[in-house]
Structure 1
Amino acid sequence: MTVQDHPRGGTPVGHMGDLGAVEAAAVHFLRLWADGQTGRDAAVRELVEALGEKAGLATALAFEALFDLCARHGRRPLMRHDVLCGCLGADEACFATFISAAAEPAEEDAMLMAFLLVRADLAPILAGLARDVGMSLRRFALTKTREPARLRLKTLH
């Protein structure tokens, strides 16, 4: 078996259920975006539904630019699993960590990860896009984790 037969970036390193909400959303949208136009349309619909039209479309545009930079100028192709797969691949885990770090006060970490993903001259642009996408995915995750008030009430009788 050669490296080309089994690219290391696709090696399962965990499960989607192990990820936090922002990281899971990053992998989910990476998979959808890489799945072609049908997946991209589904991603845009999800973002617009969760964030509203203006913010959802802005997030989709930022994600498209981020994805395009990685695809066109990546040091190597990012490996991914199927949209419905419960496994988490090595590249997907790195991508999720990158997006999460960019949305936190870990800008230096995000910049270092960007240098590993793309050419040095494009790393600051990629890190900026990751920050925008990550902040939006934080809002997206909040819309997906809200419980209706009735579920938070404890019934005694």
Structure 2
Amino acid sequence: MHAKGSAPVGSYDDLDPLGRAAVSCLRALRRDAALPAAGPLADLCGLCARFGRRPLSAHAEECPCLGGDEACFARLVELAAAGEREEALMLAMLLVRADVAPLAVAMAEQAGLGVMRMATGAGARVH
């Protein structure tokens, strides 16, 4: 029997780069609850850990499975980054307390956009 939220619902390799980045950060949080300040994704993971409805389940970093909580977290980041705030808010309320959900969406949007900028090289500034 799997812990709540950890039942496999897909494959990690089927995620797009943004989803993989989100899940990787969540898995790192499981290993080290005191993540160093690694940016917006780590901040979002911290928010979920502090205000989560329950502890989020994550598979081991090298696991090819994608758990239910991981899929929800990845989709939250993807939807928020795409500007789909209402859809992202529904997912956020599955993960964190309702009063914190709008903040989670805002953080997910910033995290997702940051990962997308890094992936496309748009995050580099020219001096």
TM-score range, shorter chain: 0.7 to 0.9
Distance 1:63 1:25, change over 3 A: closer
Q: Structure 1 segments of 4 or more deviating over 4 A?
A: none
Which of residues 120, 129, 133 is equivalent to 2:98?
Answer: 120
Q: CA deviation at 1:121?
A: 1.3
Q: Tell me the residue number matched to 1:130.
A: 108
Percent identical pairs in the alignment equals 42
Cα RMSD after superposing both structures: 2.0
Distance 1:6 1:19, change over 3 A: same
Normalization by structure 1: what TM-score?
A: 0.69
Could you report, residue by residue, the CA deviation over 1:36-75 in whole angstroms, capped at 9, with x for unpaired residues?
179x46xxxxxxxxxxxxxxx6xx2323331222112111
Normalization by structure 2: what TM-score?
A: 0.84
1:71 lines up with 2:49 in the alignment: yes
Instruction: Give the distance between the partners of 1:118 and 1:85, measured in 2 at CA.
Output: 25
Q: What stretches of structure 2 of length at least 5 have no aligned partner?
A: 122-127
Secondary structure of the 2:5 match is helix
Instruction: Give the distance between the partners of 1:6 and 1:16, measured in 2 at CA.
Output: 17
Instruction: Give the distance between the partners of 2:78 and 2:114, measured in 1 at CA.
Output: 11
Q: How many residues align?
A: 121
| Greater radius of gyration (CA) | 1
